[in-house]
A and B are shown apart, each in its own frame.
Chain A
């Protein structure tokens, strides 16, 4: 990280009590990995990833980040036709900074480090602009929100004592805690505070207080929960683990958390919600070194979709609208609607580039029961629905399909719960029990749901007479 800090930066002065750079960024730590350019259109990799390929994907994301900073950081994006596409400049700036912190964990790759430096140089001006300074000054309860990019850059070695001084004033003000936050947002605040100083090893052994109140410590509503609930989960995990740079102890066992992540992943893949799918997939590299069969398959789907589209797409990018625009308007629309999901793929690749965290190319088939997949698949084929994952599934060998029968079960349980098809839900649980797949949090919640529905049925029947 000293290397990054040695670049000419705005008011760059070494601070006392600043955190060390992420491991592996010091000069000499480089593996001199050369990454290649993004493949030409339709040059889709048949067998997509290894460490070098993940670095290439991350650099591609960082290239797009340069454009996002140039075009969106000054004024954001305002869409008069679809206000849902509006992007505040603070959001782009903060998310870019977060991406850089995540990418710094893979900076032993020369290309990644060079890309991080380029984007950071562009970001400094916006992260410490008058707008951000005034925001931190006038709204002390939101000071860390305005200072997020500044704090991230500080972690990367780009210091600014003047901004620090103002931030300290705001953080010592009476109104500092004047904004009430949900637990994962409280974790974000703790994470930012930790970014201002070197974390003590002993502090990493404890679970952050906010994490105890978060969904990391309580089961999600896996069948009927909202997207926001999954966001709360993924964000809490990101902040508690600090992209594996300074990970805290989690409030529950990793296996329990990953079992719930697997259910959320199933839903996101089935709904082609790749922004959230990539965030959920972070759970594996951020908590341990092994990827479950379902997680490995999930990464396979995302990598293939990214290869085919040229970026990991979101539903917000509409081609009809895009094709109605020209020039800078067109590029701004494309960036504004696409950049976030693109960034999340970058976060995932950065996490997967950490030593031993690369997702396996082959899906493990250990302990697989033959015929499991087809038994569950019959429930899915009743729905007129073809998500991208099905293409990848059809390419798997029979044993690999059976290895992800649990993922299929999670997809089916979610679908039937949403459709309120309680009869099918019951049948699914029976089959899952026979196949030895019922010991999952989604199956358990489905059983509870059926029990409640039965109670309601008994309770309401006499009243409707």
Chain B
């Protein structure tokens, strides 16, 4: 038991080393994200290789959807689709 290491401590130690530059990671994702999200097969798209550079897990994404606009308000614009 005494040999066990709390994984939070390990993570904290690693973060404290500043070995991962999260600002640089964020910048790279911001640059590639839009084009990758539009690619047909984005999971194989990074840098055009088959290698996975990042795994992003959404542990609890919450419920999606509910973003369709008011149907009545959309109705006002419906006629423009045909003109």
Determine if A310 and B63 form an interchain contact, defined as CB atoms under 8 angstroms apart.
no
* Cβ contacts under 8 Å, B75 to chain A: 41-42, 308-310
* Cβ contacts under 8 Å, B60 to chain A: 418-420
Q: Does A465 contact B (CB under 8 A)?
A: yes
**0 or 1 for each of B52-83: is its CB under 8 Å from A? (1 = yes):** 00000001111111111111111111111111
Partner of B66, one of A42, A271, A318: A271
Q: Restricting to A416-462, which residues have a CB under 8 Å from any CB of B?
A: 418-420
Determine if B71 and A309 form an interchain contact, defined as CB atoms under 8 angstroms apart.
yes
Determine if B71 and A308 form an interchain contact, defined as CB atoms under 8 angstroms apart.
yes
Shortest distance in angstroms between B44's beta carbon and chain A's nearest beta carbon?
9
Partner of B78, one of A41, A318, A331, A387: A41
Determine if A63 and B82 form an interchain contact, defined as CB atoms under 8 angstroms apart.
yes
Number of interface residues of B (CB under 8 A): 31
Q: Does A113 contact B (CB under 8 A)?
A: no
Instruction: Find the residue from A83, A182, A313, A317 having the highest chain B CB count within 10 A.
Output: A313
Q: Does B41 contact A (CB under 8 A)?
A: yes
* Cβ contacts under 8 Å, B79 to chain A: 41, 310
Shortest distance in angstroms between A73's beta carbon and chain B's nearest beta carbon?
15
Q: Does B4 contact A (CB under 8 A)?
A: yes
Determine if A387 and B65 form an interchain contact, defined as CB atoms under 8 angstroms apart.
yes
Report Cα–Cα, A322/B70, bound state, in Å: 13
Shortest distance in angstroms between A379's beta carbon and chain B's nearest beta carbon?
13
* Cβ contacts under 8 Å, A308 to chain B: 71-72, 75
Report Cα–Cα, A60/B69, bound state, in Å: 21
Determine if A311 and B71 form an interchain contact, defined as CB atoms under 8 angstroms apart.
no
Shortest distance in angstroms between B66's beta carbon and chain A's nearest beta carbon?
6
Shortest distance in angstroms between A372's beta carbon and chain B's nearest beta carbon?
23
Determine if B63 and A84 form an interchain contact, defined as CB atoms under 8 angstroms apart.
no
Determine if A331 and B80 form an interchain contact, defined as CB atoms under 8 angstroms apart.
yes
Q: Which residue of the partner chain A has the closest CB to B67?
A: A315
* Cβ contacts under 8 Å, A388 to chain B: 68, 71
Q: Does B38 contact A (CB under 8 A)?
A: yes
Instruction: Take A271-B66, A313-B69, A418-B62 as given contacts and tell me if A84 and B78 are in contact as well, using a CB distance cutoff of 8 Å.
Output: no
* Cβ contacts under 8 Å, A383 to chain B: 63
Shortest distance in angstroms between B33's beta carbon and chain A's nearest beta carbon?
10
Report Cα–Cα, A311/B69, bound state, in Å: 12
Report Cα–Cα, A168/B25, bound state, in Å: 46
Q: Does A415 contact B (CB under 8 A)?
A: yes
Report Cα–Cα, A273/B74, bound state, in Å: 16
* Cβ contacts under 8 Å, B4 to chain A: 463, 465
Determine if B71 and A331 form an interchain contact, defined as CB atoms under 8 angstroms apart.
no
* Cβ contacts under 8 Å, A342 to chain B: 81
Partner of B74, one of A270, A309, A331, A387: A309
Q: Does A121 contact B (CB under 8 A)?
A: no
Partner of A305, one of B1, B34, B37, B71: B71
Determine if B82 and A309 form an interchain contact, defined as CB atoms under 8 angstroms apart.
no
Determine if B74 and A182 form an interchain contact, defined as CB atoms under 8 angstroms apart.
no
**0 or 1 for each of A86-126: is its CB under 8 Å from B? (1 = yes):** 10000000000000000000000000000000000000000
Determine if A313 and B68 form an interchain contact, defined as CB atoms under 8 angstroms apart.
yes
Q: Does A319 contact B (CB under 8 A)?
A: yes
**0 or 1 for each of A16-47: is its CB under 8 Å from B? (1 = yes):** 00000000000000000000001001100000
Instruction: Take A41-B75, A84-B38, A331-B80 as given contacts and tell me if A465 and B66 are in contact as well, using a CB distance cutoff of 8 Å.
Output: no
Determine if A84 and B69 form an interchain contact, defined as CB atoms under 8 angstroms apart.
no
Taking beta carbons and an 8 Å cutoff, which residues of A are in contact with B? 38, 41-42, 60, 63-64, 67, 83-84, 86, 182, 270-274, 305, 308-311, 313-315, 317-319, 322, 330-331, 334-335, 338-339, 342, 383, 385-388, 415, 418-420, 463, 465
Besides the known contacts A63-B82, A342-B81, A420-B59, 12 further A-B residue pairs in the complex with CB atoms under 8 A apart: A41-B76, A84-B38, A272-B66, A310-B74, A313-B71, A315-B68, A317-B74, A319-B69, A319-B73, A322-B77, A419-B63, A463-B4
12 residue pairs bridging A and B, Cβ less than 8 Å apart: A41-B75, A83-B34, A86-B38, A270-B63, A272-B66, A273-B64, A310-B74, A311-B74, A311-B81, A318-B69, A418-B62, A465-B1
Taking beta carbons and an 8 Å cutoff, which residues of B are in contact with A? 1, 4, 34, 37-38, 41, 59-83
